[in-house]
Amino acid sequence: MAYLDHAATSPLWAEARDAMLPFLGDSYGNPSGAHAPARVARKAIDEARDIMAEVLGCDPGEVVFTSGGTEADNAAVFGVQRRHGGVVVCSAVEHHAVLDPVLAVDGRLVAVDADGVLDLDALAAALDPSVSLVSVMLANNEVGSIQSLGAVREVVDDRAPGALLHTDAVQGYCWLDVADAATPADLVSVSAHKFGGPKGVGVLVVRRGVTLAPLLLGGGQEQERRSGTQNVAGIVGMATAARLTAEDRKTTIDRVAALRDRLVDGLVSAVEGALESGDRSRKIASTAHLCFEGIDSESLLFLLDRAGIAATAASSCASGAQAPSHVLEAMGISRDLARGSLRLSLGRTTTDADVDAALATIPPAVERLREFG
């Protein structure tokens, strides 16, 4: 199997699994308690909090553990809107975990250019002093485009002074130094399973002085910002994965970017009418996104799966069905062309052999579909 779907989820670091095991076994204390087993769990999440703070460039007290990226995004959008009122604004290419909460409170969407990068003039036009939150993702999950949060912050401060800036850094963490890139943001979401941690755990960074209405009320954990007994094993695994990812980031980026470039260049030259979506120099290192004229991606994915290539088209719904991509539409890619889209996302375990397999399989599969399609 050539696994080329790291943006959907990534394999668990062995070290993260090992770090989690005690907390799935004998160390089962509830971190909120006062006795010895509770203190063991409490110490583990305190240490994990310190690590997450370091890799995310914030204070430990600004780390709020969540059940993943979706919860962190919802907590940011609904949390600001319910606490401060006002209008919320996001880019038109956000993941549904931001887009749907923004639409649920009648927020505004801001256009992007043909590379999926936010149009700053459109942002300025969408902002006014009634705006309480602007949410712009650090890196896009479909095409990989990177947003410059410094430039976004300037426009926000100018047009909507007082508005908070949230960034969904879920796809950015492996490929960008979030501690640096997300400095302009007041709220930052990450999700462990995208960087080799376990599923179902993440962080929302809430900078000092930023107040939110919590999504979950109850026992008052996480300084009243997110009630619910913490997922101790998951948090410990996440911190281990986050640390290893940060340590390896530079080497992994160089290696993966070279693999990605070989893959995309190979496909563009082997398949007539193959178009790379967006300018590669404005993307994270991991993402290869192409559209093939005259085919349907669902059929292509079926052939690839049978040949042992795990890939996806746009973002996959929970049902597994391929929804039409709002990201490609926002980038001005026609529906016809978007019908034949393919996302190949690489990661730290991707090898030359995976790229060879994709290069050997995809061109004949596209040809076959065109012939019989």
Catalogue the active-site residues.
317
Q: Which stretch binds ligand PLP (CB under 6 A): 68-76, 157-165, 289-297, 359-367?
A: 68-76
Nearer to ligand PLP, 137 or 331 (CB): 137
Say whether residue 116 binds ligand PLP (CB under 6 A): no
The mark string for 79-108 relative to ligand PLP (x by CB under 6 A, - otherwise) is: ----------------x-x-----------
Beta strand 63-66 with 87-91 is unpaired
Residues from 172 through 191 that contact ligand PLP (CB under 6 A): 191
* Tokens read off for 165: 């800036």
Residues from 193 through 212 that contact ligand PLP (CB under 6 A): 202
Helices (H), the chain: 14-24, 36-56, 69-84, 96-104, 120-126, 149-159, 178-181, 232-270, 297-306, 326-330, 335-338, 352-372
Using CB under 6 A, count the residues that bind ligand PLP: 13
Q: Which stretch binds ligand PLP (CB under 6 A): 37-45, 67-75, 105-113, 328-336?
A: 67-75
**Cβ proximity of 348 and 10 under 8 Å:** yes
Say whether residue 68 binds ligand PLP (CB under 6 A): yes
**Cβ proximity of 327 and 142 under 8 Å:** yes
Nearer to ligand PLP, 97 or 236 (CB): 97
Helices (H), 145-231: 149-159, 178-181
> Is 110 strand, coil or helix?
strand
| Cβ atoms within 10 Å, residue 213 | 14
Q: How far is CA 143 from the centre of its chain?
A: 11
Output the smallest distance, CB 368 to ligand PLP, in A.
Answer: 30
The mark string for 129-168 relative to ligand PLP (x by CB under 6 A, - otherwise) is: --------x---x--------------------------x
Which amino acid is located at 146 in the chain?
A: I
| Most distant CA atoms of the chain, gap in Å | 69
Q: Can you tell me which of 48, 52, 70, 101 binds ligand PLP, judged by CB under 6 A?
A: 70
Which residue sits closest to ligand PLP, CB atoms considered? 69
Interaction site with ligand PLP (CB under 6 A): 68-70, 73, 95, 97, 137, 141, 168, 170-171, 191, 202
